Every structure is written in structure tokens, then in C-alpha cells.
């Protein structure tokens, strides 16, 4: 059996993967050159590579994505003469991304950016900052989307004593955009975990930002396409007490010309929210588990229905 591994692994990670697979399994690793020749004869492929490759990978029957999102495969016309099973990493990033959300909220509520700026200016700002701090325990939080990330974020914030409500697909179907606007007007913190679809594009726009309190905290860890960035910038520029934490943006990498870089109350975590030092090793554990299930002719986890 041939397996192609598209994510670039270091030597220790590659060895960790090899050691957990049977000897008859051949692993072909991408060295960063993205050489299709290594992938051509793969029966199992790991990673998110160019969809143009798939039609020429005649033996490919299983694709294990290294992401939850399937953005680069959406709209792809899969071969009709064979079945390719695709699995994503559903639930894999819920822990670290929820911690990223919490980190941004705590930084804002406990005024860490203001304190750091005072430190840079060697300014003792105790009396100015002390009574501007807020408590997450007193916050009303609205989680937009209630998948694994939303659930974990709600769990962590509830542990701090925050009042957490959610707004998901069912709520949108029942209440429409006006229902979301009303819910946003009643929260202190808005967290978006929703994916990019035709229905969610620019969903969070001027109507939502105007409904939010002027000192609200907004966090987006889903997809940048759901936010109208011009409307977000306007909110940030008009209300200095407003704070946004963006792990995702419409265009990544974010171009140097983007005004998002310039807004002092918009923080860019550059799609690192799911990261940790052990991320690749934990992903390998998932891949290995899936491969062993495949070898044992057991159903795979987290299959994606396109």
C-alpha cells in the first residue's frame, strides 16, 4: 500500500508516522517541492493538495485532510468512475481554538493591551486602567455556530461564570437575520465559529456591528468570508473601546495593503488558533488510527459528504 503525505513533516515526525504502520505500507513524503510524482501512485493521500492532481491519481481511494475545512475541495468535480472517501479532522482543533478565543477575551477584558502599551511608554497608568477592567463572569456571550469549537468555547466561558447563548443554523432558519441582529444587541461578546458558505458570506456586516455595544469584543475563528471587513473596520475606527480578535481573514496571507493591519483595536492571530507544539504528532495519531481502521476494513471516522 502506498501512502502520500503532503504536509511537510520533520524527521522525528516522519519517523513517528512510519513506526506505527505495518512494513508493507510505503510512505512517500512531500519535502516541500510538491512533486506530483510522489503522489501519483498513492492509494491513500494525507493533506490538502491541489485538486488538479486527483484526476491523475488512478489508485487513490482515501483522502485524509489535515484540516476541518474543505474549502479548496468545495465545487470540485470528483471522478465518477471510482469512489474516493474523504475524511477531515472534525473536532481536532476545538480545544486549542477555544483557548485562543478565551485568550483574546481575557486580554481585552483585563486590559492587557493597554497595560503593555503603558509599559512600552514607561508610563505608570494604574489609576487610568484599574477601573476600566471588566470581568468575564459578568459578560453576556453569543456564540454564532455551535459545532465542536463553539461547544468547547461555551464550556470554558461558562466556567468563568459568563452567560452564554448560542445562535446556530436552526435559529437562523427560524428567526432570520433580524433574529441574529437582536441577539447581537443583547451580548457583550460575539464569537463566530461558522464556516464559509453562500449563505454566510458577509453575514456579519454593518447591521450586526451597529447592534453590538460600542465596547463589545468580537472574535472570529471560523472563516474570514463571513465578515464584511469594511464594516468591521468602520466599527473599530469609530469606537476605540471595541475590540476584534481575528484568527481568520478573507484573504490569507493578509496583504500588506489591508487596513486591518493599521487598526490598533483589531488583533490578528494569523490563523494560528489551532496550533500547538504537538499539533503534527496529534494529527499523525489521527491518520494512523484511520489507516489501521482502513486496513481492518472498519468504517472511517469524520467522512465528508460533498
pLDDT digits (tens, 9 = 90+) for 222-244: 999 999 999 999 999 999 999 99
Question: pLDDT tens for residues 153-178?
Answer: 999 999 999 999 999 999 999 999 99
Please report which confidence band the pLDDT of residue 306 belongs to, taking 50, 70 and 90 as the band edges. Answer: confident
d(CA 158, CA 208): 24
**Residues near 125 by beta carbon (within 8 Å), at least 6 away in sequence:** 114, 115, 118
Question: pLDDT tens for residues 276-304?
Answer: 999 999 999 999 999 999 999 999 999 99
The residue written with cell numbers 482543533 in the block is 93
DSSP bridge partners of 167:
144
Q: How many Cα atoms sit within 13 Å of 72 on the Cβ side?
A: 13
- The stretch 125-139 carries a mean pLDDT of 97
Torsion angle, alpha carbons of 183, 186, 190, 195, to 10? 0
The residue written with cell numbers 472570529 in the block is 220
Give the range among 19-33, 69-83, 162-176, 207-221 with minimum mean pLDDT: 69-83
d(CA 268, CA 39): 35
Residue 73 has pLDDT above 90, yes or no: no
Q: Are the CB atoms for 246 and 268 separated by under 8 Å?
A: yes
Question: What strand order describes the sheet that includes 266-268?
Answer: 163-167, 140-144, 189-192, 217-220, 243-246, 266-268
pTM over 0.75: yes
User: Quick one: 257 exposed, middle or buried, by C-beta within 10 A (0-12, 13-18, 19+)?
Assistant: exposed
Which three cell numbers mark 24? 508493507
Phi, psi of 227 (to 5 degrees): -110, 135
The residue written with cell numbers 493591519 in the block is 261
Residue 75 has pLDDT above 90, yes or no: no
Peptide bond into 253 cis (omega under 30): yes
Angle at 32 between CA 28 and CA 36, to 5 degrees: 55
Residue 71 has pLDDT above 90, yes or no: no
Angle at 106 between CA 102 and CA 112, to 5 degrees: 140
**Residues near 298 by beta carbon (within 8 Å), at least 6 away in sequence:** none
Amino acid at each position: 500500500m502506498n501512502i502520500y503525505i503532503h504536509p511537510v513533516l520533520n524527521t522525528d515526525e516522519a519517523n513517528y508516522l512510519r513506526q506505527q504502520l505495518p512494513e508493507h505500507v510505503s510512505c512517500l513524503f512531500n519535502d516541500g517541492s510538491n512533486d506530483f510524482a510522489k503522489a501519483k501512485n498513492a492509494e491513500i493521500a494525507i493533506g490538502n493538495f491541489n485538486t488538479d492532481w486527483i484526476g491523475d491519481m488512478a489508485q487513490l481511494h482515501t483522502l485524509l485532510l489535515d484540516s476541518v475545512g474543505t474549502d479548496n475541495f468545495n465545487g470540485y468535480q470528483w471522478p465518477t468512475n471510482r469512489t474516493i472517501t474523504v475524511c477531515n479532522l472534525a473536532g481536532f482543533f476545538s480545544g486549542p481554538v477555544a483557548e485562543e478565543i478565551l485568550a483574546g477575551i481575557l486580554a481585552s477584558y483585563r486590559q492587557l493591551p493597554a497595560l503593555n502599551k503603558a509599559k512600552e511608554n514607561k508610563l505608570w497608568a494604574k489609576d487610568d486602567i484599574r477601573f476600566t477592567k471588566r470581568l468575564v463572569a459578568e459578560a453576556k456571550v453569543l456564540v454564532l455556530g455551535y459545532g465542536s469549537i463553539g461547544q468547547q468555547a461555551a464550556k470554558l466561558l461558562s466556567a468563568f461564570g459568563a452567560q452564554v447563548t448560542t445562535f446556530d443554523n436552526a435559529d437562523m432558519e427560524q428567526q432570520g437575520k433580524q433574529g441574529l441582529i437582536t441577539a447581537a444587541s443583547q451580548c457583550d461578546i460575539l464569537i463566530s465559529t461558522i464556516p464559509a458558505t453562500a449563505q454566510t458570506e458577509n453575514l456579519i456586516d454593518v447591521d450586526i456591528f451597529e447592534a453590538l455595544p460600542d465596547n463589545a469584543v468580537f472574535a472570529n475563528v471560523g472563516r474570514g468570508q463571513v465578515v464584511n471587513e469594511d464594516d468591521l473596520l468602520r466599527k473599530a475606527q469609530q469606537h476605540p473601546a471595541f475590540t476584534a480578535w481575528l484568527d481568520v481573514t478573507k484573504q490569507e496571507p493578509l496583504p500588506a495593503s489591508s487596513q486591518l493591519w493599521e487598526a490598533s483595536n483589531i488583533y490578528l492571530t494569523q490563523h494560528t488558533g489551532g496550533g500547538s507544539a504537538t499539533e503534527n504528532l496529534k494529527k499523525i495519531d489521527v491518520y494512523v488510527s484511520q489507516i489501521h481502521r482502513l486496513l481492518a476494513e472498519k468504517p472511517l471516522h469524520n467522512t465528508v459528504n460533498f
